[in-house]
């Protein structure tokens, strides 16, 4: 038998309650019981042509069973009991069948503890009520009172009922035995030809994972098949593997052509033994679409496309969404069909991931359609734990192909520990040996790379936490919740089984009536059947309490006096100092710490407080913090190192602080927020501080606002002040005013204004003025209180620069915005055109340690959005490659403005102090720009008008002794970018580069016809002055042939500027004061002779003088 199948959809529709399945050679009618049942009894029909003796809406008698169908859908259910046997009736016209049969799928579920089966009988008749001898399906053991899987049953229709309407009765009876009977389920009941395969194997989906691999998903587990069982014309099949039982991947030697194609599988066998003779698959491969997604880590994914793409079409981050968010970065791969996306929101394991792509073009510029790819994020890891302090086990659910990953790819985040691999491990395990032992009770985060199983199944990369723990839990505090409820706080998360055993707890031989492990994992809520007396001391014990790695405690005893606790307020205790990135070699311990300060007037019991960062939480033990007292929190195993600095509390399960950015929170025992602190690398005030082992200190601990300006790098010589007053302490009132960082249009009538400080929530005092008649509809404050959202009555117009002014604005402390700084601007940008934004300056040979940069200039009168614009270079084949997106969010460039792209803005400004830092844009990386020669490519989002600047070190001024650290400046934005004379070394007067402002060398063009020299006097080796002269021309028609030569006054030829060059209507050349050998000419007068031939053959000669000067020593 042969099944023809379109993989995108197979034809299915409902006729008289039956699903009709069509193929090239079969015709079958199947009732799938998916339509809702009518609650009626025979002879009334619950579905067309189907009735039953008693239909119920609940799971009794005859009913529709949700989630019990063969594919998790619906089925018909029957529950026989001692007083009820199910009877189901149906009929069908068998005209056209040669030798008909019925076939259906059935299973049972256990119902109660009885051992009675359900017994099933089928009888046929020519009229309703006139049925012949009933035939039992199977025997009394076929449908037991157990959970069984669906099985296929068929029965030939007796010959006397052929070619006519047949009536069928199905009886489901209360079988022999004792007690209750099985619950019976029926699904996919149909009529077939006698030799027809009832349930052929189907391909549910066929799709190209990439241009070389076809993925087939089957509707059931199959046995692996061979290449000879695949019929396909071209290209040649090179490989075949089976990542999972229901999946096959076919590999091809070359790219599959972008067209519709057919493929046939023959003699495919299911694991159950069922054989399908042939499956024909038709795939529409004409259009490019997403093919596969690989999660490298929670912050980086790799996309593969079904065809090779046009690089210009895919190199825009805004064309993609990952769970609805635009990626923060994009890098194209060299293979031409995959790319990496840097995510703006990290992914989480056990999360459904949705990746969306707008329509893109393949390499032949054929536009595809929007597509999406969904997957469930799992990494295949069954367990990860430290066996000892020097062995880490990573157990997988399947055997691994060890050639698909390297041990060096397993990286311990925020740590210098590296790994080697243990020998003799199981095929599904990776056992890592660190180069130094793990510290006890420290939470480590391991970056696990993508891996493949031996079958070829992809296991995504992930971050996994683990801890080396050899210490049993300790009882650290009793918290009083109510008169009959206590919380026991332990030193670490507990095994939930042992934590919930009531016999493990006692107060004076009384056991609690309930023990509930709290969400934190280290606290147990105990409820008692008596009231505690105020002021009375009690003794509580806990025994055989286990942690998550199997360390059991002995008897733990603690006494407490029952007193209802007082309430503390927000910022009674503050996070006063943090050390997120300690550094070896400094005088302070090379250990993270968090310092708390009690600024209140009351003693506070820290027991039950929780310290958390963005990844994990730990509990603080029972300690009293007096007014104006400091305490240092650090990992428990390193607490002794801080003893010389003051009071220390060592914590188990230390929340390792992230170096680049994190949020730290302090909660009290009732889970009320007491304080929080956010920091980023910018909080340190520079990269040298961020990586130099400096702590971050609160300037004024008495402020109630979380101001970014209230957190600074320590100025102590020790680079931190744990346990004492901060080095940056200043309790002077915060008198800094809020500033407007910028404004951007969100929608046609909605604008966001971003501020430097947290604002007062009182928006009623604000007053806005606008240069245009904009009616203000509403004002909102963002949740972080750093942004004001404005909505207008009318839509904003493109290309207009709107000016606004805000009055009465105050930050949360009460500081008002300064007079003269209340204005802001916003606009809807215009569409760019070729030549609007050009490459204007390039530093490709930076000084040692200095960054390179590329400057662009907007020479139009438009506001242009640089979102998804790119810098790139050319590869060895002359193709655009190594694209780097300069902005994944809106970046509006003003008319006649400059922007500089570099990898280190701070260092660039220190190298070139005259640079305009407000115009610097810092990128993670730039494309490769070699020091001697290379290409800078500037691309709009669609790459409709690329600009390519091919540079060489030889383009610098011939008299420049040291080109390192000297940029090339473009003289004219309108002259061709590849005109060598259009580039000149930056002047020494600006420090050899002019990043962010007007070039030191420019050519504005001449409005006079003829030939002009400017300046007429120049000094080739002068520092701080223009060290070349410009020879410009303007003629009334293009096509003239020109030769320009420089002569000395004695008539000798000094330099030929151009020879028989075809002119346009205007242009220019430069002379740097050197001769044909590159030597500086003598001081004095020189003559320019220009011979110009027009289109009619006439020749004209022009002579101009120029003076070469010298430096005055």
CA distance 710 to 707: 5
Residue 679 in contact with residue 660, Cβ under 8 Å?
A: no
Same domain? 479 vs 538: yes
Here the tokens at position 180 are 């209750």
pLDDT band at residue 565 under the 50/70/90 scheme: low
Residue 122 in contact with residue 169, Cβ under 8 Å?
A: yes
Q: Report the CATH number at residue 749.
A: 2.60.40.1220
Same domain? 167 vs 80: yes
Side by side, which strands form the sheet with 711-713?
Answer: 648-651, 630-635, 593-598, 573-579, 696-698, 711-713
- H or E element: which one contains 251? strand 247-252
Of 284, 315, 335, the domain-final residue = 284
Phi and psi at 953, nearest 5°, equal -60, -25
Same domain? 110 vs 222: no
CA distance 528 to 514: 7
Q: Is residue 934 part of a domain?
A: yes
Same domain? 900 vs 988: yes
Mean pLDDT computed over 928-954: 94
More confident residue, 601 or 1078: 1078
Q: What is the pLDDT of residue 15?
A: 28
Of 1004, 1027, 1053, the domain-final residue = 1004
Q: What distances in angstroms separate CA 13 from CA 16, 50, 198, 992, one per listed residue?
A: 10, 18, 18, 76
User: Does 471 score more than 50 pLDDT?
Assistant: yes
- H or E element: which one contains 906? helix 905-911
Mean pLDDT computed over 734-752: 87
Same domain? 580 vs 687: yes
Q: Is residue 3 part of a domain?
A: no
Q: Which of 145-154, 419-428, 957-966 has the lowest mean pLDDT?
A: 957-966
Q: What is the pLDDT of residue 8?
A: 30
Q: Which of 9-13, 947-951, 976-980 has the lowest mean pLDDT?
A: 9-13
Give the number of other CB atoms < 10 A from CB of residue 881: 18
Q: Report the CATH number at residue 962.
A: 2.60.40.1260
Number of separate helices (H) and strands (E) present in the chain: 4, 85
pLDDT band at residue 156 under the 50/70/90 scheme: very high
Q: What is the pLDDT of residue 605?
A: 81
> Which conformational region is residue 282 in: left (phi greater than 0), alpha (psi within -120 to 50 degrees), or beta?
beta
CA distance 276 to 263: 15
Q: Is residue 120 part of a domain?
A: yes
Mean pLDDT computed over 543-558: 92
CA distance 141 to 120: 11
Same domain? 172 vs 239: no
- H or E element: which one contains 102? strand 100-109
pLDDT band at residue 1024 under the 50/70/90 scheme: low
CA distance 544 to 521: 16
Phi and psi at 1093, nearest 5°, equal -105, 125
- Best mean pLDDT range from 121-135, 494-508, 566-580, 984-998: 494-508
CA distance 545 to 548: 10
Check residue 915 and report its DSSP letter: S
Q: Is residue 312 part of a domain?
A: yes
CA distance 819 to 129: 96
Residue 398 in contact with residue 380, Cβ under 8 Å?
A: yes
Place of tokens 């990369």: 461
Q: Which of 53-62, 649-658, 706-715 has the lowest mean pLDDT?
A: 706-715
Query: pLDDT tens digits for 827-866?
Result: 999 999 999 999 999 999 999 989 999 999 999 999 999 9
Same domain? 147 vs 48: yes
pLDDT band at residue 622 under the 50/70/90 scheme: confident
Torsion of the alpha carbons at 586, 589, 594 and 599, rounded to the nearest 10 = -90
Query: pLDDT tens digits for 344-360?
Result: 888 888 888 999 999 99
Mean pLDDT of the chain: 89
pLDDT band at residue 16 under the 50/70/90 scheme: very low
pLDDT band at residue 989 under the 50/70/90 scheme: low
Phi and psi at 778, nearest 5°, equal -155, 160
Q: Is residue 5 part of a domain?
A: no
Mean pLDDT computed over 901-914: 93
Nearest Cα to Cα of residue 186 among 364, 62, 53: 62
CA distance 1087 to 1054: 10
Place of tokens 């006096």: 561
Listed in order, strand segments (DSSP E) in 731-801 are 740-747, 750-755, 767-770, 776-781, 787-792
pLDDT band at residue 1026 under the 50/70/90 scheme: confident
Query: pLDDT tens digits for 680-726?
Result: 888 888 777 888 899 999 999 998 888 777 899 998 888 999 999 99
CA distance 618 to 620: 7
Q: Is residue 148 part of a domain?
A: yes
- H or E element: which one contains 313? helix 311-314
Q: What is the pLDDT of residue 5?
A: 33
Q: Is residue 16 part of a domain?
A: no
Q: Is residue 10 part of a domain?
A: no
Q: What is the pLDDT of residue 1008?
A: 63
CA distance 207 to 463: 30
Q: What is the pLDDT of residue 607?
A: 84
pLDDT band at residue 936 under the 50/70/90 scheme: very high
Here the tokens at position 671 are 């889970």
Of 784, 799, 826, the domain-final residue = 826
Query: pLDDT tens digits for 168-205?
Result: 999 999 999 999 999 999 999 999 999 888 889 999 99
Whether residue 43 is preceded by a cis peptide bond, meaning omega within 30 degrees of 0, is: yes
What is the domain extent for residue 237? 203-284
CA distance 676 to 113: 56
Residue 328 in contact with residue 342, Cβ under 8 Å?
A: yes
Same domain? 171 vs 44: yes
Query: pLDDT tens digits for 1080-1113?
Result: 899 999 999 998 887 676 778 888 999 998 876 5
Give the number of other CB atoms < 10 A from CB of residue 300: 18
pLDDT band at residue 1004 under the 50/70/90 scheme: low
Q: How many domains does the chain have?
A: 9
pLDDT band at residue 971 under the 50/70/90 scheme: confident
Whether residue 1015 is preceded by a cis peptide bond, meaning omega within 30 degrees of 0, is: yes
Same domain? 53 vs 162: yes
Give the rounded percent of residues in the chain with a pLDDT score beyond 90.
Answer: 60
Torsion of the alpha carbons at 563, 569, 575 and 576, rounded to the nearest 10 = -110
Same domain? 892 vs 977: yes
Q: What distances in angstroms separate CA 202 from CA 13, 209, 692, one per listed residue?
A: 18, 19, 62
Here the tokens at position 136 are 């039992």
Residues whose CB falls within 8 Å of the CB of residue 267, separated by 6 or more in sequence, listed in order: 225, 229, 275, 276, 277, 278
pLDDT band at residue 727 under the 50/70/90 scheme: very high
pLDDT band at residue 22 under the 50/70/90 scheme: very low
Same domain? 367 vs 233: no
Same domain? 217 vs 179: no
């Amino acid at each position: 038998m042969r099944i023809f199948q379109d993989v995108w959809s197979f034809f299915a529709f409902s006729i008289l309650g039956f699903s009709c399945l069509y193929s090239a050679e079969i015709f079958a009618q199947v009732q799938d019981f998916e339509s809702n049942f009518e609650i009626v009894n025979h002879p009334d029909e619950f579905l067309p042509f189907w009735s039953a003796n008693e239909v119920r809406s609940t799971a009794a008698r005859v009913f529709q069973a949700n989630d019990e169908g063969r594919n998790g859908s619906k089925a018909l259910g029957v529950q026989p009991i001692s007083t009820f046997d199910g009877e189901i009736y149906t009929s069908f016209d068998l005209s056209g069948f040669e030798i008909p049969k019925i076939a259906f799928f059935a299973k049972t579920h256990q119902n109660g503890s009885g051992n009675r089966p359900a017994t099933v009988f089928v009888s046929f008749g020519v009229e309703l009520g006139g049925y012949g001898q009933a035939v039992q399906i199977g025997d009394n053991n076929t449908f037991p009172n157990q959970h069984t899987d669906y099985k296929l049953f068929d029965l030939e229709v007796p010959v006397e009922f052929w070619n006519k309407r047949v009536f069928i009765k199905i009886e489901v009876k209360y079988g022999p035995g004792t007690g209750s009977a099985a619950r019976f389920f029926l699904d996919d009941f149909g009529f077939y030809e006698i030799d027809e395969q009832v349930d052929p194997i189907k391909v549910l989906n066929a799709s190209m994972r990439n241009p070389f691999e076809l993925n087939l998903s089957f509707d059931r587990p199959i046995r692996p098949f061979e290449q000879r069982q695949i019929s396909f014309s071209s290209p040649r099949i090179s490989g075949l593997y089976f990542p999972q039982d229901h999946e096959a991947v076919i590999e091809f030697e070359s790219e599959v052509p972008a067209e519709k194609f057919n493929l046939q599988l023959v003699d495919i066998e299911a694991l159950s033994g069922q054989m399908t003779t042939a499956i024909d698959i038709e795939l529409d491969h004409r259009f490019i679409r997403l093919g596969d997604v690989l999660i490298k880590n929670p912050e980086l994914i790799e996309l593969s496309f079904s065809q090779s793409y046009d690089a210009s079409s895919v190199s825009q981050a805004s064309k993609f969404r990952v769970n609805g968010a635009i990626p923060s970065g994009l890098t194209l791969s060299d293979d031409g069909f995959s790319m990496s996306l840097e995510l703006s929101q990290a992914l989480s394991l056990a999360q459904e991931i949705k990746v969306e792509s707008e329509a893109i073009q393949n390499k032949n510029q054929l536009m595809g359609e929007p597509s999406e790819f969904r997957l469930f994020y799992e990494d295949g890891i069954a367990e990860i734990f430290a066996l000892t302090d020097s062995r880490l086990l990573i157990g997988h659910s399947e055997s691994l192909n060890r050639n698909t990953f390297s041990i060096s790819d397993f990286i311990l985040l925020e740590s210098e520990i590296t790994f080697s691999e243990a020998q003799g491990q199981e095929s599904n395990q990776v056992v890592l040996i660190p180069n130094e032992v793990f510290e006890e009770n420290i939470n480590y985060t391991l970056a696990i790379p993508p891996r493949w199983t031996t079958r070829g199944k992809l296991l995504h990369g992930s971050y996994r936490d683990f801890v080396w723990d050899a210490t049993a839990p300790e009882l650290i505090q009793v918290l009083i919740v109510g008169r009959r409820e206590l919380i026991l706080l332990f030193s670490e998360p507990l095994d939930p089984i042992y934590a919930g055993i009531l016999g493990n707890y006692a107060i004076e031989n009384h056991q609690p009536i309930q023990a509930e492990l709290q969400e934190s994992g280290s606290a147990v809520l105990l409820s008692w059947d008596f009231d505690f007396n105020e002021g009375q001391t009690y003794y509580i014990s806990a025994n055989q309490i286990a942690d998550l790695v199997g360390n059991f405690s002995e008897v733990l005893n603690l006494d407490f006096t029952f007193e209802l606790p007082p309430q503390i307020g927000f910022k009674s205790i503050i996070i006063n100092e943090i050390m997120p990135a300690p550094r070896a070699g400094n005088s302070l311990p090379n250990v993270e710490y968090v310092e708390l300060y009690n600024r209140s007037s009351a003693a506070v019991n820290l027991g039950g407080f929780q310290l958390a960062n963005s990844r994990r939480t730990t509990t603080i033990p029972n300690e009293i913090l007096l007014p104006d007292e400091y305490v240092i929190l650090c990992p428990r195993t390193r607490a002794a190192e801080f003893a010389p600095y003051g009071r220390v509390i060592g914590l188990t399960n230390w929340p390792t602080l992230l170096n680049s950015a994190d949020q730290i929170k302090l909660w009290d025992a009732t889970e009320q927020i007491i304080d929080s602190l956010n920091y980023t690398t910018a909080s340190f005030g520079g990269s040298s501080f961020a990586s130099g082992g400096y702590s971050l200190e609160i300037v004024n601990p008495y402020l109630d606002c979380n101001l970014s300006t209230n957190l600074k790098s320590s100025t102590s010589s020790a680079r931190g002040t744990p346990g004492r007053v901060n080095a940056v302490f200043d309790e002077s009132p915060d008198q800094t005013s809020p500033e407007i960082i910028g404004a951007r249009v969100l929608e046609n009538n909605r604008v966001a204004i971003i501020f430097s400080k947290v604002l007062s929530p009182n928006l009623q005092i604000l007053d806005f003025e606008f240069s245009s008649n904009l009616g203000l509809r509403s004002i909102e404050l963002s949740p972080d209180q750093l942004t004001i959202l404005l909505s207008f009555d009318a839509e904003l117009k493109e290309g207009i620069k709107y000016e606004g002014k805000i009055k009465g604005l105050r930050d949360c402390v009460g500081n008002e915005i300064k007079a003269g700084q209340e204005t802001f601007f916003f606009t809807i940008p215009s569409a760019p055109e070729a030549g609007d934004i050009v490459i204007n300056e390039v530093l490709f040979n930076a000084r040692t340690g200095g960054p390179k940069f590329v400057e662009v200039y907007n020479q139009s009168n438009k506001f242009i959005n640089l979102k998804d614009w790119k810098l790139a270079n050319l590869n060895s084949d002359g193709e655009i490659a190594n694209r780097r997106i300069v902005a994944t969010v809106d970046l509006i460039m003003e008319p006649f403005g400059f922007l500089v792209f570099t990898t280190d803005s701070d260092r660039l400004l220190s190298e070139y102090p005259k640079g305009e830092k407000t115009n610097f844009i810092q990128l993670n990386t730039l494309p490769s720009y070699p020091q001697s020669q290379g290409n800078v490519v500037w691309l709009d989002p669609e790459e409709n008008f690329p600009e390519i600047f091919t540079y060489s070190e030889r383009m610098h001024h011939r008299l420049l002794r040291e080109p390192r650290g000297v940029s090339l400046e473009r003289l004219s934005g309108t002259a061709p970018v590849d005109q060598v004379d259009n580039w000149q070394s930056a002047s020494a007067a600006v420090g050899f580069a002019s990043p962010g402002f007007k070039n030191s060398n420019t050519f504005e063009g001449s409005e006079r016809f003829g030939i002009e020299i400017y300046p007429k006097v120049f000094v080739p080796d002068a520092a701080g002055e223009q060290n070349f002269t410009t020879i410009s021309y303007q003629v009334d028609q293009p096509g003239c042939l020109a030769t320009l030569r420089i002569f000395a006054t004695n008539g000798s030829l000094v330099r030929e500027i151009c020879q028989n060059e075809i002119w346009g209507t205007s242009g220019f050349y430069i002379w740097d004061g050197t001769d044909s050998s590159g030597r500086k000419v003598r001081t004095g007068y020189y003559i320019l002779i220009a011979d110009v031939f027009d289109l009619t053959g006439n020749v004209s000669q022009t002579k101009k003088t120029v003076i070469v000067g010298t430096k005055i020593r």
